[in-house]
Structures are given as C-alpha cells and as structure tokens.
Amino acid sequence: MINNELIKEVEEIFYSDHSGHDFAHTERVMRLAVKLAECEGADAELVALAALLHDVDDYKLTGKSLGGTERARALLEKYGYCGETIELVAEIIRTVSFKGKDTETPGTLEGKIVQDADRLDAIGAIGIARAFQYGGAHSRKMYDPADPPKKEMSAEEYVNSRSTTINHFYEKLLLIRDLINTESAKLIAVERHKYLEGFLSRFLAEWNGEL
Ligand code: ADP
Ligand code: NI
C-alpha cells in the first residue's frame, strides 16, 4: 500500500531515538490507526500515510517549532503524492500532537483516528514504559512528592515542563481517555486507563511503604 522505500526513510529518521519516539512507536500507531479506520469507515490509505509521517516533524527531533510539516511534505513530494494528499496529510500532522490545553482536534475523520492511535500508544503498559523511557532520556526524577503536577498547561508550558514522570501521568496520560475522538478507540482507552490507575496506586503504595 505504501512505498517500502518511503517506510525505510522514515525508519532511518527515528533510528537513533530512544526517548519514546522510536520507529516501533510509529509502527504501532500505523497498525492501530488502520484497524480503527476499518472500524470507523475511514480512508485507510490516508490514515496509514499520516500515521507513518505523524512524528517526522516533531520539534523534539527536528529542533524546530511546534506544528511543522516540512519534512513530511518533502517526503510526500519525493514519492510522487499529489498536492491534495500532501495537504490532507500535512493538516493531520499539524493538528495531531498533544499541546497541553492548546491541543487541537483534527477536522477530518482520518485525522481524528491518527490522533486517537497516537494517544492510545501513550497509555496502557506501553504508555507507562514510554513515559519512563522519556523520563530517563531527559534526566527526570521518577517521582517527587514535593513537586505536585500542574494542570491546564499551555503548549509552551507543556513543552518546557521539567516535571517528574509520575507528574506526566496527571498532566497528560490520565487526561487521554476523555479526549479520545472515536468510539472504537474509546473502548481501548477505557481498558488502558484502568491499567494506568492500577499502576499509579501500586507505585504510590510501594513508595509510601504501604505494600
Ligand atoms: P506523541 O508521540 O504522542 O506526540 P509526545 O511527543 O508528547 O507524544 O511524547 C512521546 C512519549 O514520551 C509519550 O509516550 C509521552 O507520554 C512521553 N512523554 C512526553 N513528555 C513526557 C514527560 N514530561 N515525562 C514523561 N514522559 C513524557
Ligand atoms: Ni507519536
């Protein structure tokens, strides 16, 4: 469905990332997004393409500002996609990412699905593992009871936050279930959310010497 060379180029972009944005994340998002597209009656090819490219312009990888689409556009042009597809994919990529309370909802069903799949990969067992991987890669403390979570952060505050990994659960991960766009993704989110809550209560009980 998607050119193998394009997939390989995207894989190379994420080759040296071990901070929660490795290519395996992109592969999981693609697989889940295509499954959601089938359940929701969306354009599976557009969904797969946007999922494949959804993180190539991430500011943490490119060092550029939030919401860029240059790298995705260049790849789509290189592989001969038409202008209409390029615009649709670029708009999905721009709107998909989490930006605290400045987070946007994509205008198309395909965008909503990619956003859901990306968010689902941030919760559940894999989401927990990614959060601690990110925390380690960015020299964050796991937990500090003297540093409470901040709610309602703006995009700028979220990007510049130096918070602990446990705070990230309250600042993002536990908010995801109620931000999901599609019914098919909601069913998965409910299960993964419960898993987060179970993990947190166990973590805090062990921290406090209650278990
Ligand atoms: P996405 O791939 O959904 O755009 P992000 O770029 O926000 O996600 O983050 C990538 C991964 O790193 C996610 O699993 C996210 O939960 C995790 N992460 C991001 N910021 C933090 C943080 N401050 N502490 C712990 N984990 C984080
Ligand atoms: Ni992502």
| Interacting residues of 28 by C-beta distance below 8 A, sequence separation 6+ | 117, 121, 126
Q: For 94-107, write each residue's pLDDT tens digit.
A: 999 766 667 889 99
Which ligand has the minimum distance to the alpha carbon of residue 20? 1
Measure 75 CA to ligand 1 centroid, in angstroms: 24
Question: From the alpha carbon of 96, which atom of ligand 1 is closest?
Answer: 4
Q: Phi and psi (nearest 5°) for 23?
A: -65, -25
Q: For 163-204, write each residue's pLDDT tens digit.
A: 899 999 999 999 999 999 999 999 999 999 999 999 999 999
Instruction: Give me the percent of the chain exceeding a pLDDT of 90.
Output: 78
Specify the long-range contacts of residues 148-155, CB closer than 8 Å, at least 24 apart. Answer: 152/100, 152/101, 153/100, 153/101, 154/100, 154/101, 154/102, 155/66, 155/99, 155/100, 155/102, 155/103
Q: How confident is the model at residue 46 (pLDDT cuts 50, 70, 90)?
A: very high
pTM, rounded to two decimals: 0.92
